[in-house]
Amino acid sequence: MASGRISLSIWFFFVFLINPSTSARTTSFIKLPRSDGSRYCDSWRLAAETNNAGTWDVIPSVCVDPVADYLNGDQFLSDYNVIADYALSFAKSVDISGDGKDVWVFDIDETLLTNIDYYKAHGYGSEPYDSNSFSEWVLQGTAPAFDASLKLYNALQKLGFTIILLTGRDEDQRSFTETNLRDAGYSGWERLLLRGPEDQGKSATDYKSEQRAKLIEEGFKIRGNTGDQWSDLLGFAVADRSFKVPNPMYYIP
């Protein structure tokens, strides 16, 4: 009888293995797929970074944790480093004239300096933008540099590029911005262009395009441009090559 029970047990075991419905149920139980919310947020972030999402005000509430995980994880640093590497590779291909007119333009916030500590306290972009609150943060002057941007910045200077900083910050924040940049390791820029009274109310795209056009009128050749917003890069008087670094926290038209 013991032998019969063993044989019957073996028979049931093989039936369990070869039964398609049992196998499918077992596979679905073992597999641990990502949640639909996480998958959606990856897709939303791609749409936002490629400018397919259009104008948006805050990140979707379901994406706060996935965006936070991305910004604080290795993937964000890897994405940033790869873009900086592409920018440097292009820069090395440029024939520098040596007359100081070959320009590389940099945005500041979320490009040279990271405000991640501010946005951690404000829902990683899930809260509406508060200009007064952000201005208070700017005046503290404690935003650190992105390592990849600082390395790119220094490498471009060694190659002979003239560095122009073009930011949406206001003129009355100049001294705080300059101090913060120097404390973060940046130096030797040719100009720091900020919004004056005449620039208030302009879209970032229009304001930055106008500033680039003025540089071109002076004889500068804008070889490269790096920014975290499409409005840093698009419009008119654009660079020969533009490089957008990742920022899923906010959108500036």
Query: Are residues 202 and 162 part of one domain?
Result: yes
pLDDT digits (tens, 9 = 90+) for 214-252: 999 999 999 999 999 999 999 999 999 999 999 999 999
Query: Are residues 67 and 28 part of one domain?
Result: no
Q: Is residue 32 pLDDT above 50, yes or no?
A: no
| End-to-end Cα spacing for the chain | 81
pLDDT digits (tens, 9 = 90+) for 170-179: 999 999 999 9
Query: Are residues 152 and 46 part of one domain?
Result: yes
Query: Are residues 177 and 141 part of one domain?
Result: yes
* Distance between CA atoms of residues 80 and 173, nearest Å: 27
The pLDDT, as a whole number, for residue 36 is 67
3-class secondary-structure state, position 140: helix
250 within some domain: no
pLDDT digits (tens, 9 = 90+) for 98-149: 999 999 999 999 999 999 999 999 999 999 999 999 999 999 999 999 999 9
Average pLDDT over residues 66-71: 98
pLDDT digits (tens, 9 = 90+) for 50-65: 999 999 999 999 999 9
Binning pLDDT at 50, 70 and 90, where does residue 187 land? very high
| 102-106, strands of its sheet edge to edge | 191-195, 162-170, 102-106, 221-227, 241-244
Is the torsion defined by CA of 50, 118, 198, 188 positive or negative? negative
253 within some domain: no
